[in-house]
Structure formats: C-alpha cells, structure tokens
Amino acid sequence: MEKGKYSARRKGTRMNKEIIICIIIFIIVLSLNFVTQKYTEEVVGEVTTLLDATREELTKEEPDFEIAVKKADEAYNKWEELDDTWALYIEHNEIEKVTTAITAAKSFSEMNNNEESVDSIDRCKYILQHIKEREQISLDNIF
C-alpha cells in the first residue's frame, strides 16, 4: 500500500511542476508580445510622422521639392535604422512592402512627381497601420 501512495503523490507533484512551467512560459510569451507590440506602435508612430511631414510638403499649393526630398530621406533613413529589429518578429514580406513603398516615395520626391510620391506615402502608411493592427493582441488575431 505504501508504494501506491508514494507513486500517486509523485505523480501529483510532477503534474504541479508541469502546470507551473506552462504558466511561466505563458507569462513570458505575453510579456514578450507586450514589449514587441509597444515597440511596433512606437516605430509606426515615428515613421508615420515623418511620412506625414513629407506628404504635407508635397500637397502644398507650391511644394518645395528640396524640403520634401529631405523629409523623405529622413523617413527612409529612420525606416532603414529600424527595419532590422522588425525582421526578428514581423513577416519579411510585410517589411518588404514597407521598404518598397517608402523607397518609391523617396524616388518620386526626387523626380518632383508629387502625385506618385503622395500615393506611395499613403500606401506605406496603410501597410504600417496594417502591421500594427496585426501585432495587437485581440480575439480576431488569436482565433
């Protein structure tokens, strides 16, 4: 009889350890998700602000293309600085879409083509917003 009691107690202890390990892993995953979500929101905000400044310059009645190119360069450089970190947890095709759109906006600004540049800026902002929404914890993203 003693042997049976010991075996049942040992089995219960192992199960408690497994539950505790699962809870710890769950907490770590949630914590990392929270950190990456905050970082994603920060990056999207910074790049979007720079893109908005570029768009504002390009949509003026008399756009100054030199200023627009400088602002587009700032947005591009900021993106280049941050996209390596994003590559750790964001799908690479999404990063490529943003890189393509922001490069197009910069190139069109340099060619003094404000309509195409504004279109590229809007596309880039849309993709960034889409990524931000995908990374948020919500029931739609979980299921």
The neighbour count for residue 135, using CB atoms within 10 Å, is 20
Predicted pLDDT at 76 = 93
Largest CA distance in the chain: 93
Digit-coded pLDDT (tens) for 16-65: 888 999 999 999 998 998 998 999 999 999 999 999 999 999 998 888 88
Taking the C-alpha atoms of residue 76 and residue 16, their distance in angstroms, rounded to an integer, is 51
Nearest-5° Cα angle at 55, 52 to 59: 140
pLDDT recorded at residue 99: 94
Residue 9 has pLDDT above 70, yes or no: no
DSSP tally for the chain: helices H, then strands E? 5, 0
Separation CA 56–CA 98 (nearest Å): 19
- pLDDT at residue 4 above 60? no
78 Cβ neighbours under 8 A, 6+ residues apart:
46, 47, 50
Taking only the tens place, the pLDDT of each residue in 60-91 is: 888 888 999 999 999 999 999 888 888 888 88
CA distance 14 to 6: 12
